[in-house]
């Protein structure tokens, strides 16, 4: 039996201060990740500070067409917000293709960004896992790695980042706003997610007690024409094997603006910058899309069990871009 204390915060500063005072303290939002992992003995917080009473649940319009999403806004609310549906369909679709309706009603956006990996060795407290227990080894390297990453891997960890909406937010250049002991910070979302390298236990740059307060999505006219495609083993209630967040603007038959990010294949939500560069100015058709996808995936380091993801990601990118441009599938 391990003691676990619970406190309910009423304002942002006291929530931060309470977690700061306890080295084994953690924030509790919807609890859909945190409570599972406590039950499985993977996380062992001594204190959970419930932040659900904090006034951080609004989705607000920003000047010029951007939006600011409070960290405690629920996945279901954000997915249905008119500004998100109309201006950022890729974000709405990514949310609706994640988890289940019940989970989406509980799960917050801040918690979603901080959710932990689904690697079965991480979630089995008896297996070696550098992320859970630094220096213990990585059971996935020679184990069952079908769902694991092919981009951004290291010899310490190959787990994929599991979030769907993070992929869409990375494509949209969102900014994570935090408040912590050092004051407020605005962290570009691509820098918020860290590659595993030699320190897979560090997944983001948050300090102990630093709270995500909001996620800001800057104006992006290209996003009105965007899509999120998710390929998985079953139609619902399943994480991505491969997913694609894409937005594209075509002018005179050529790609004038494009955003592309991948899920299910990277150790972090993967902005496909090589593919974006390769696409700009090229004819908007399946041949250029396939070439650009190939350039991005040339960096893949698959293992025998997940090598299929290279071809799946290649096809997924082409399908997403074709669906947005009405190009021809070949």
Instruction: Candidates 59-67, 151-159, 169-177, 314-322: pick the segment binding ligand SF4 (CB under 6 A).
Output: 151-159
Instruction: Candidates 127-135, 232-240, 293-301, 321-329: pick the segment binding ligand SF4 (CB under 6 A).
Output: 127-135
- The dihedral region occupied by 65, where left means phi > 0, alpha psi between -120 and 50, and beta the remainder, is left
Stretch 17-46: interaction string toward ligand FAD, x if CB under 6 A: ---------xxxxxxxxx-x----------
Other C-beta atoms lying within 10 Å of the C-beta of residue 5: 12
C-beta closer to ligand FAD: residue 118 or 225 = 118
Stretch 154-193: interaction string toward ligand FAD, x if CB under 6 A: --------xxxx----------------------------
* Burial class for 81, CB neighbours closer than 10 Å (0-12, 13-18, 19+): buried
Total binding residues for ligand FAD by CB under 6 A?
29
Q: Two tokens at 74?
A: 């629920």
Q: Is residue 204 within 8 Å of residue 117, measured between CB atoms?
A: no
In the complex, minimum distance from the CB of residue 299 to ligand SF4, in angstroms, rounded to a whole number: 18
Q: Two tokens at 143?
A: 């184990």
Stretch 190-219: interaction string toward ligand FAD, x if CB under 6 A: ---------------------xx-------
Helix residue ranges, H only, the chain: 12-21, 34-39, 75-80, 82-87, 89-96, 101-106, 109-113, 165-171, 189-192, 273-279, 286-297, 308-325
Instruction: Candidates 102-110, 181-189, 280-288, 320-328: pick the segment binding ligand FAD (CB under 6 A).
Output: 102-110
Rule CB under 6 A: say whether 327 interacts with ligand FAD: no
Q: Is residue 99 within 8 Å of residue 163, measured between CB atoms?
A: no
Residues near ligand FAD (CB under 6 A) are: 26-34, 36, 71, 98-99, 103, 106-108, 110-112, 114-115, 162-165, 211-212, 239
């Amino acid at each position: 039996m391990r003691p676990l204390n619970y406190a309910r915060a009423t304002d942002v500063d006291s929530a931060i201060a309470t977690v700061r005072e306890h080295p084994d303290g953690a924030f509790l939002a919807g609890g859909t990740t945190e409570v599972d992992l406590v039950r499985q003995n993977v996380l062992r917080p001594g204190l959970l500070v419930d932040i659900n009473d904090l006034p951080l649940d609004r989705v607000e319009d920003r000047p010029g067409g951007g939006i600011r999403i409070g960290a405690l806004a629920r996945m279901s609310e954000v997915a249905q917000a008119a500004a998100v549906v109309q201006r950022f369909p890729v974000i709405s679709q990514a949310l609706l293709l994640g988890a289940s309706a019940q989970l989406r009603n509980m799960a917050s956006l801040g918690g979603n960004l901080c959710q932990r990996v689904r690697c079965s060795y991480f979630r089995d407290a008896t297996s070696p896992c550098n992320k859970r227990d630094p220096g213990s080894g990585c059971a996935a390297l020679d184990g069952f790695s079908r769902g694991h990453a092919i981009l951004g891997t290291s010899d310490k960890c190959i787990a994929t980042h599991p979030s769907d909406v993070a992929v869409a937010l990375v494509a949209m250049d969102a900014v994570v706003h935090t408040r912590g002991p050092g004051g407020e910070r605005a962290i570009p979302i691509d820098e918020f997610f860290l590659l595993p390298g030699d320190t897979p236990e560090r997944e983001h740059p948050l300090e102990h007690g630093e709270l995500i307060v909001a996620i800001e999505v800057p104006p992006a006219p290209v996003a009105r024409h965007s899509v999120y495609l998710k390929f998985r083993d079953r139609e619902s209630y399943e994480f991505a094997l491969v997913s694609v967040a894409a937005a594209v603007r075509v002018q005179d038959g050529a790609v004038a603006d494009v955003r592309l990010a991948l899920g299910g294949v990277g150790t972090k939500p993967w902005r496909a910058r090589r593919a974006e560069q390769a696409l700009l100015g090229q004819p908007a058709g399946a041949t250029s899309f396939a070439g650009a996808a190939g350039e991005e995936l040339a960096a893949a380091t698959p293992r025998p069990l997940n090598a299929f993801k290279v071809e799946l990601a290649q096809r997924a990118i082409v399908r997403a871009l074709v669906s947005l441009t009405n190009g021809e599938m070949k």
